Amino acid sequence: MLLEECIWEEEIWATGHERETRVTSLVETEEGVDISQEGETQESHGDDLLHLYILDIKQVPLLSREKEQELFQRLSLLESALCQTLFCLPAALESLLAYGRQLAQGTLTVQDISRNLANNNLSEAKAALLFHFSALEALHQHRPEDRLRRLRLEERMQHHIAALELRPVVIQSICRALRPSVLPDPSISPELSHFWNRITKYEKAIARIREQILIANLRLVIKMAKPYIGRGVPFLDLIQEGNQGLLKAIEKFDYRRQLRFSTYASWWIRQYLNRAIAEYARTIRLPAHIIDTLTKIRQATAELYRKLGREPTSGEIAQEIGISLKKVRHLLEITQETISLDKPLGEGEEEEYTLNELVAQTEEESPLDTLLVKELDKQIDTLLTSLSPKEAQILRLRFGFNEGKTYTLQEIGELFGVSKERVRQLERRAINKLRNIPQSKELREYTFLFR
């Protein structure tokens, strides 16, 4: 299929489907009513929006396997054309090479730049990307005057750019960065203006195809979000999170693998739904495996209640799901509702006070403690240099060294493109290495800071 035919067909589709583009927004308000507010009016309004949304997406036909393949082929063709046009501009190529330099310095990861990994091996993928970036850098420095030689050089450059398999977000970022400096300038050459018109046309066609795929698969998100109802996150929020996973799947899907898109998208949607439950359902965040066990306890409790006609005991729940009684009791304890320290206590305006006012205030951290914590950070940084870069980065993310924010095994696995279990193995190996280093014993001197 010719490139211009792709663009023309997408323009026809956009003209005939303006109504369906509205279903991608789930939380728009009508007549100034905010559905995030509490109260019966807002809840009723939210239910009405949800009902209308579901009715709307049911009218959108599902994609056949052939149509699905056709759309992703068009998408791939248009993205390739966009890259070829965009990186003919020296400024755009300079921006792309900056990504390569950041990858070499370690400030960007493979996943930040490329959407496909070689056999999911990060080190191999990074080496391949650095090779192509290095080749592009060398070719960019060499600009022959001869037109024929210049065309051959550009062909080689396009080969290396295609091999990078750039994420759409990288291309979009480069376009956004360059457009303000080009479009407002009336003095730009007609040739450059023509380039930007083509780039804009490709961008619009790509956006229309992505929207068409998104709308045709919105009911998949509804189906997958339903089992998560009642787990602490409103259904509308679950749908929003699931839609984010669907967008991620559209970005990363490779139609050449002959896999149905719905099968691939289900994994991403589930990841975003689980993340939403883990992050937003509780005031205190719980690990993913704990949430899975709590879900089993909740389901077993409901099933036993139907069978027995009464609330089941902890022992009956433990027997039903096959875990120890001690673990069931522990998990039920940690699911108790948290209380805000700012919650008003007492009655009447004059007698109101907060729980925070009753809690003894701890002393502020002394300057000595602050100095010791900084010294501890230096000691940890020194110890981590004895590990491989990947092992050191995993420990930094896992335990919040330097930044303070801790990551779950699942989140680290997604960052590195490996499984959660593989991250656990690397973490254990790194800790064992540190234990065998004599300098690690010096860290015991700082344990009093955390008592």
| Residue with more model confidence, 210 or 20 | 210
Q: Domain boundaries in the chain?
A: 3-20+56-216, 233-280, 288-334, 367-450
- In the predicted structure, residue 31 carries a pLDDT above the cut 50: no
State residue 438's pLDDT score: 72
334-371 per-residue burial string, b: 16 or more CB within 10 A, e: under 16: eeeeeeeeeeeeeeeeeeeeeeeeeeeeeeeeeeeeee
Q: Do the first three CATH levels of 288-334 and 367-450 match, i.e. the same topology?
A: yes
Instruction: Please write the tens of the pLDDT for every residue from 416-444.
Output: 888 888 888 888 888 888 877 776 666 66
- In the predicted structure, residue 39 carries a pLDDT above the cut 70: no
Q: Which run of H or of E encompasses 226?
A: none
Q: Which residue type, as a one-letter code, is found at position 106?
A: G
State residue 364's pLDDT score: 56
| Residue with more model confidence, 358 or 153 | 153
**Beta bridge pairs of residue 354:** 344
- In the predicted structure, residue 180 carries a pLDDT above the cut 80: no
State residue 22's pLDDT score: 42
Instruction: Please write the tens of the pLDDT for every residue from 369-409.
Output: 666 667 777 777 788 888 888 888 888 888 887 666 788 88
Instruction: Please write the tens of the pLDDT for every residue from 101-114.
Output: 988 888 888 888 88
State residue 32's pLDDT score: 38
Instruction: Please write the tens of the pLDDT for every residue from 301-343.
Output: 888 888 888 888 888 998 888 888 888 888 887 766 566 666 6
- In the predicted structure, residue 281 carries a pLDDT above the cut 90: no
Percent of the residues in the chain that have a pLDDT greater than 90, as a whole number? 15
- For the question of whether the overall pTM of this predicted structure is more than 0.85, the answer is no
Please give the Cα distance from 183 to 194 (Å, whole number).
11
- In the predicted structure, residue 251 carries a pLDDT above the cut 50: yes
- In the predicted structure, residue 18 carries a pLDDT above the cut 70: no
For residue 48, which of 24, 22, 29 has the smallest C-alpha distance? 29
CATH number for domain 288-334, candidates 1.10.3470, 1.10.760, 1.20.1250, 1.10.10: 1.10.10
Tokens of 275: 């993340």
Please give the Cα distance from 203 to 404 (Å, whole number).
39
| Residue with more model confidence, 187 or 386 | 386
Q: Which residue type, as a one-letter code, is found at position 397?
A: L
Fold exhibited by the domain 367-450: Arc Repressor Mutant, subunit A (1.10.10)
Per-residue confidence band for 228, with pLDDT thresholds at 50, 70 and 90 = confident
- In the predicted structure, residue 206 carries a pLDDT above the cut 80: yes
